[in-house]
Amino acid sequence: MQGWIVPPPKEPSKSKDEFKKEREEKVKWLIRHGYIRSSPIKEAMLKVQREDFIPEQYRDYSYLEVPLPLPGEEATISCPHSYPLFYEHLGLDRSHKFLEVGLGSGYGAALASEVVGPDGLVVSIEIDPLTFNFAKKNLEKAGYRDIILVRGDGGFGYPEKAPYDRICITAACNMIPPPLIDQLTTGGKLIAPIKEYGIQNLVLFEKGEEFLRRTVICEVLYVSLRGGFATG
């Protein structure tokens, strides 16, 4: 897999209507390519305005299939297709208690909040203070006040609201941090980019009574997990 080429920074010039059209086109494309399969995820992708989660100098590229830089060390907002890729495989749905490790821009947390709805809960953790503040402002401006935002090392999870039905790690790790497995319900699912054999695979884990079932989805490319469970 190749690295990503970030487009050059520029003054934003697109209108809200242009972004809306691009968002609708993107959702059609994601359905056509099999990334979006369920109605809650489709509705969330149509509703959340991705451009509101992107730094001004990259805003015009909001719906391009590239990750874009965020304030902070190595932080990026992932490509549009990666959100339904993670959330459809997780089976994220209404009423779920969802934990995200790697808040980034706040876009993924906003989408998850739309999917789980008022009976669910979203907790998201970010290790980088600059990135955390950027996401917090984005989410406040966009009106997402029920998401629990935590500044800290997501490898340790957030036991205060555990157990979680679904967990998503948005940074690449060599192994799943054990506290996250402990904080997953039996029957729950966790998805993460795992570094193995010199590449990264997106892997889905399903927690049984006595075992963790592992399914490789596809090759991906993510920034590395930082903090206490960081590994090379």
Q: Which residues bind ligand SAM (CB under 6 A)?
A: 72, 75-78, 101-102, 104-105, 107-108, 125-128, 131, 153-155, 170-171, 222-223, 225-227
Residue 231 φ then ψ, to 5°: -145, 105
Residue 29 CB, nearest approach to ligand SAM (Å): 19
Q: Are strands 76-77 and 164-169 parallel, antiparallel or unpaired?
A: unpaired
Cis upstream peptide for 163 (omega within 30°): yes
- Which strand (E) or helix (H) includes residue 103? none
Amino acid at 99: L
Residue whose CB is less far from ligand SAM, 155 or 179 = 155
Q: What is the rounded CA–CA span in Å between residue 206 and residue 90?
A: 9
- Comparing CB distances to ligand SAM, the nearer of 186 and 231 is 231
Distance CA 141, CA 161 (A): 25
Q: Are strands 184-196 and 164-169 parallel, antiparallel or unpaired?
A: parallel
Instruction: Write out the two tokens for 28.
Output: 């059609």
Question: For residue 12, what are the CA distances in angstroms to 47, 199, 229?
Answer: 21, 35, 38
Query: Of the two residues 120 and 168, which places its CB atom closer to ligand SAM in the complex?
Result: 168
Q: Least CB distance from residue 23 to ligand SAM, whole Å?
A: 15
Closer to ligand SAM by Cβ: residue 34 or 152: 152
Marked catalytic residue, from 38, 39, 62, 78: 78
Looking at the Cβ atoms of 73 and 187, the one nearer to ligand SAM is: 73
The minimum distance between CB 59 and ligand SAM, in angstroms, equals 14
In whole angstroms, how close is the CB of 200 to ligand SAM at the nearest point? 12
How far apart are the C-alpha atoms of 130 and 127, rounded to whole Å? 9
Q: Is residue 78 flagged as an active site residue?
A: yes
Half-sphere exposure (Cβ direction) of 216: Cα atoms closer than 13 Å: 9
Instruction: Residue 156: name the closest of 104, 101, 195 by CA.
Output: 101
Residues labelled catalytic: 78
